[in-house]
Structure 1
């Protein structure tokens, strides 16, 4: 079935940097080799089902602006039409993966049994569409934040019946992800937090959240799912305080409940900004602990205080992100998911294509810049020079010593260190040579 929504838009081709086409890849060439690996295999692009097909163009002050053929999204016929449109779009874009929430691919039925039936039906339909196409499922997840049943959380809810509904929902979504050959499964705790401590037992909620995640890991192994389980840090939106605030908070949580060997992080640029960090900071934190799993590539408006989920357009920021990803050995089973949406005034099908094409080009430019910096080695050389003193025998012996012995050495050797430049401006200028 053809929806007609993307009629007249041809598959996007790589035309090179000098192309004047309004919709063409100038930098993203999936077969181009970067550090000995195909660009497509580095970037592993994925389209987000929710923002691209389910979102209706609303914001905190206004409702729907998009009028799609599959609106309203309240029955299975519309859900199948949305699948048809999605695969028409995938054929145009040529990206290797997609991602989904359950609530974005099937209508809410109001009870678990019917939600399960419609999820099975629509994922069978998606699986049929995947046949004969070079496209896979990067990851699936459960939307446990939109419906009113989740208003006080899912795994952290004070009502055990909500915990049970959440457990059944995640089982169904993990089963569906496994059926579609998904390479990861994400848990995004959109309401795992609190509005006020006046009615919150934080310790109990965290214990329940840890137990819930342990159940997910156990079930993954039970069904033979080989993908990676991911959790996604996000601060203060919509809850006043969310338990998965940032990468460091999530790592501490995983270590507390003994899950650091089973679960990695799905990091989003926009969430990093909301937490008061840079994206490369969050990536470096996760990489330093061996827990970098996958990324959602978007950006926030720096003048707005909420998650605007815009397509990336800042090559220097993206280059630094991929620099840390490449240093960490790449994304493994993860990928670059565009958790990004059009502006609510961008109504046309061509706008959706252009948003993704531009973002993919920005990421490709960033990746090539990051690879060039790694191959040049300037940043790594500067880093090694700055910490060279720690490679001496005396410095290493000090780490195994105690305060008294170190004090004796300071007195005996008359140690009186003088500050040395951090060379930040020189290093910033170095990065700018590549972007």
Structure 2
């Protein structure tokens, strides 16, 4: 028996690039081997519970446009119905994973005890559905940014009672994630930052956040949670400045508080753009330090200055993202989570299915393009050639030398280097052959 929400929509199938069916996969074939691994196992797709089922279609200038049977989510019967619809959608798409915040799953109760009670109730229900469906939990997390109690932060809040409420909330969400055999746990500090330095003790707030993250790691080991702890960078919006600005900032923060061996990064394309970076830049920064955990796949509108969370459709961006992921060994416990939402005018259930199908197809095309670039080897060959001078014994010895010795060598050998082309356009042309 179904909910009826997706009546008339069939399970998405792979029909190949010649199909004109907008609700079929043209490029995503789960069993296709890419570099010797099934496509599904490379991409590890996940549906985001928040944008897919909790979002009501508002924006900064207008309210709800989506009318769903569970809106507003004010009782547990609505929460269970929403879960029924979610698992129907997972089945229609054939996705192996999903992700959630606690506030996506259960109604806000106004106090901690009842929030935990309803979270446990709905995750018990979801656990039963997971057993029947075979769909797994990629990660859980706590929403510590929407309710007014979080307006000045969670772990960085000047009020110690808010810190305590945040710690208890994360514990409950870690317990629920562990119960559902989640493969990761994410912390996104949506309000961990400041609006003005005039009322902010930045050092105290950073120290509190560092201690909070250490508490999370300590609790992970205490309960035997085998998943990966992830933090998710974002530079701004809603805070004027957030302490988890970008990948490099997060890595520095984690090293400062002794967490570099315990926590990895969950990177989002839209957040990379807000930070003034490309997605592949953020991935390359994380992989260079061995700290890539998982990705949130979406895109921003380049004509807008805020986080629009649209489904991906830019093939070159997606291909380069997967190129650097594959070069680093691929996603391990992480996956490709669609932290993306419909446009406010896309009102119908079929729009939700079509959006995910399109995003999955773009990711599949990007993955295959990335694999083809790796197999071709031209980018690697050009990169190696650019740095070949560093492979000589004298160049390596220079790194163990000192300024005086290097200066003497420059004088004695009359070193007077001329610039060499970076060949950017040639490299871009190589990429364009595949995308």
Q: Hey, what's the Cα distance between the residues in 2 that align with 1:130 and 1:140?
A: 14
- Please tell me whether the aligned partners of residues 283 and 324 of structure 2 are also in contact (alpha carbons under 8 angstroms): yes
Residue 262 of structure 2 is matched in structure 1 by 262
Q: Hey, what's the Cα distance between the residues in 1 that align with 2:142 and 2:413?
A: 62
- Please tell me whether the aligned partners of residues 294 and 336 of structure 2 are also in contact (alpha carbons under 8 angstroms): yes
Q: CA deviation at 1:261?
A: 0.2
- Please tell me whether the aligned partners of residues 188 and 231 of structure 2 are also in contact (alpha carbons under 8 angstroms): yes
**CA displacement 1:176-205 (0-9 Å, x = unmatched):** 000111000000000000000111000000
Q: CA deviation at 1:144?
A: 0.0
Structure 1 residues without counterparts, runs of 5 or longer? none
Per the normalisation by structure 2, the TM-score is 0.99
**CA displacement 1:267-312 (0-9 Å, x = unmatched):** 0000000000000000000000000000000000001011000000
Residue 293 of structure 2 is matched in structure 1 by 293
Determine helix, strand or coil for the equivalent of 2:189.
coil
Structure 2 residues without counterparts, runs of 5 or longer? none
Q: CA deviation at 1:3?
A: 2.2
Q: Hey, what's the Cα distance between the residues in 2 that align with 1:416 and 1:296?
A: 47
Q: Residues 274-285 of structure 1: matches in 2 within 5 Å?
A: 274-285=274-285
Residue 303 of structure 2 is matched in structure 1 by 303
Residue 201 of structure 1 is matched in structure 2 by 201
Moved over 4 A (4+): none
Residue 128 of structure 2 is matched in structure 1 by 128
**CA displacement 1:301-360 (0-9 Å, x = unmatched):** 001011000000011110000000001101110000000000000000110000000000
- Please tell me whether the aligned partners of residues 6 and 349 of structure 1 are also in contact (alpha carbons under 8 angstroms): yes
Query: Are residues 1:401 and 2:401 paired?
Result: yes
Q: Residues 332-411 of structure 1: matches in 2 within 5 Å?
A: 332-411=332-411
Q: Hey, what's the Cα distance between the residues in 2 that align with 1:209 and 1:407?
A: 45
Determine helix, strand or coil for the equivalent of 1:6.
coil
**CA displacement 1:232-255 (0-9 Å, x = unmatched):** 000111000000000000000000
Q: Hey, what's the Cα distance between the residues in 1 that align with 2:390 and 2:346?
A: 54
Q: Hey, what's the Cα distance between the residues in 2 that align with 1:48 and 1:266?
A: 14
Q: Hey, what's the Cα distance between the residues in 2 that align with 1:179 and 1:378?
A: 46
Q: CA deviation at 1:2?
A: 2.9
**CA displacement 1:353-373 (0-9 Å, x = unmatched):** 000000000000000000010
Q: CA deviation at 1:75?
A: 1.0
Residue 319 of structure 1 is matched in structure 2 by 319
Determine helix, strand or coil for the equivalent of 1:132.
helix
Q: Hey, what's the Cα distance between the residues in 1 that align with 2:60 and 2:4?
A: 30
- Please tell me whether the aligned partners of residues 167 and 212 of structure 2 are also in contact (alpha carbons under 8 angstroms): yes
Per the normalisation by structure 1, the TM-score is 0.99
Residue 144 of structure 1 is matched in structure 2 by 144
After superposition, the CA RMSD in angstroms is: 0.6
- Please tell me whether the aligned partners of residues 3 and 69 of structure 1 are also in contact (alpha carbons under 8 angstroms): no
Aligned residues: 435
Q: Hey, what's the Cα distance between the residues in 2 that align with 1:71 and 1:158?
A: 34
Residue 98 of structure 1 is matched in structure 2 by 98
Q: Residues 3-152 of structure 1: matches in 2 within 5 Å?
A: 3-152=3-152
